[in-house]
Amino acid sequence: MEHFSDRLLNAIGRKGSPACVGIDPVHERLPAELRRRVDGPRSALAAIAEYCSIVLDAVADAAAAVKFQSACFERYRDEGVETLYSLIADATDLGLLVILDAKRGDIGLSAEHYAAGVFQPWIDRDELAPRLAVPDAVTINGYLGADGIEPFCAGGRGAFVLVRTSNPGGDAIQQARLESGETVAEHVARVVDQLSRERLGDLGYSDLGAVVGATKRSEIGSLRAIMPKCIFLVPGYGAQGGSAEDVRACFNPDGRGAIITASRSVIFAYERDTEGPWADAIAEAAQRFAQEVGEVAAL
């Protein structure tokens, strides 16, 4: 299979925008017609599955990729995981690159198990139809070091290591300053940079990328300089407060090197834009978002 970074950058090129829509469904915020059918966890999961399927259709023209928040599905235990992989297949069929935001992190053999769980095709309960669709990349937590990272990069798949997260609470650890003068986040970035350079695709980028929050504008330039070969996966755009200006520094001078994620501001757009069908509100929000970040990348 083609190198992950080439597949991602080519998808961004085809769509003309580094836009990734985050699929973070919660049953409380579903459109009223779907929410009405919810009377327990199983019907909530069914409503979420129907909703996500329509969301994928609505964003497929505008977005280069989608990022599934694994937690939203794992809360429905094994049945949620089954639904998640069914939706990953739908997204793949629509030509979308798929990032699984699972933030896994373990050591050695356990990391290999997680990588197999995420990236190996599984077989259906009736043992007849193989379920071949798997994510193209996964997010991982690098606190356990290189032996927790390397098993996730193989066979044309990619991984994004959490370097600087978009939440306020992340500062307590990620902003602590080392003797060297660098922050912990910058130190993690150096570990990621070193691993990233061994695994470049034809377009010069690594299959090992970094998660860098859009809300951390003042730190992005430094992280970009430390990890020149890494594609940044940038959450925090839109609902969390990150703007087009904030994410400009995530891109290299070649206009590449970042994929920007908006989640709630797109997938719940019908909460603000209440005229017309809810799927149309999502499609329009996805188009606006893709245009905004497409213009940033082109500058």
List residues with catalytic annotation: 103
Q: State the Cα–Cα distance between residues 259 and 236, nearest whole angstrom.
A: 12
Q: Does 37 bind a copy of itself (CB under 8 A)?
A: no
- Which one among 85, 205, 278, 289 touches a copy of itself, defined by CB under 8 A? 85
Buried/exposed code over 244-275 (b: 16+ C-beta within 10 A; e: otherwise) = bebbbbbbbeeebbbbbbbbebbbbbbeeeee
Q: Does 105 bind a copy of itself (CB under 8 A)?
A: yes
Least Cβ distance, residue 115 to a copy of itself (angstroms) = 9
Q: State the Cα–Cα distance between residues 8 and 136, nearest whole angstrom.
A: 9
Work out whether strand 65-69 and strand 97-104 pair parallel, antiparallel, or are unpaired: parallel
Nearer to a copy of itself, 38 or 203 (CB): 38
| Element of type H or E holding 245 | helix 244-247
Is the distance from CB of 260 to CB of 18 less than 8 angstroms?
yes
Nearer to a copy of itself, 14 or 77 (CB): 77
Instruction: Give strand pairing partners of 130.
Output: 123
Q: Site size for a copy of itself, by CB under 8 A?
A: 63
Q: Does 253 bind a copy of itself (CB under 8 A)?
A: no
Instruction: Give strand pairing partners of 234.
Output: 260
Angle between helix axes 184-196 and 217-226 (nearest 10 degrees) is: 30
Place of tokens 């599934």: 68
- Contacting range for a copy of itself; rule: CB under 8 A; set: 60-68, 139-147, 221-229, 249-257: 139-147
- Contacting range for a copy of itself; rule: CB under 8 A; set: 179-187, 197-205, 248-256, 271-279: 179-187
Q: Does 166 bind a copy of itself (CB under 8 A)?
A: yes
- Which one among 33, 61, 145, 291 touches a copy of itself, defined by CB under 8 A? 145
Place of tokens 């990621």: 192
Q: Does 162 bind a copy of itself (CB under 8 A)?
A: yes
- Which one among 6, 54, 75, 243 touches a copy of itself, defined by CB under 8 A? 75
Least Cβ distance, residue 27 to a copy of itself (angstroms) = 11
| Element of type H or E holding 20 | strand 19-23
**Contact set for a copy of itself, span 110-129 (CB under 8 A):** 110-111, 113-114, 116-117, 120, 122-123, 125, 127
Record the tokens describing residue 137, joined without a space: 């990349």
SS3 125: coil
- Which one among 51, 68, 76, 251 touches a copy of itself, defined by CB under 8 A? 76
Binding residues vs a copy of itself (CB under 8 A): 24, 26, 40-42, 69, 71-72, 74-82, 85, 103-111, 113-114, 116-117, 120, 122-123, 125, 127, 141-148, 162, 165-174, 176-179, 184, 187-188, 191
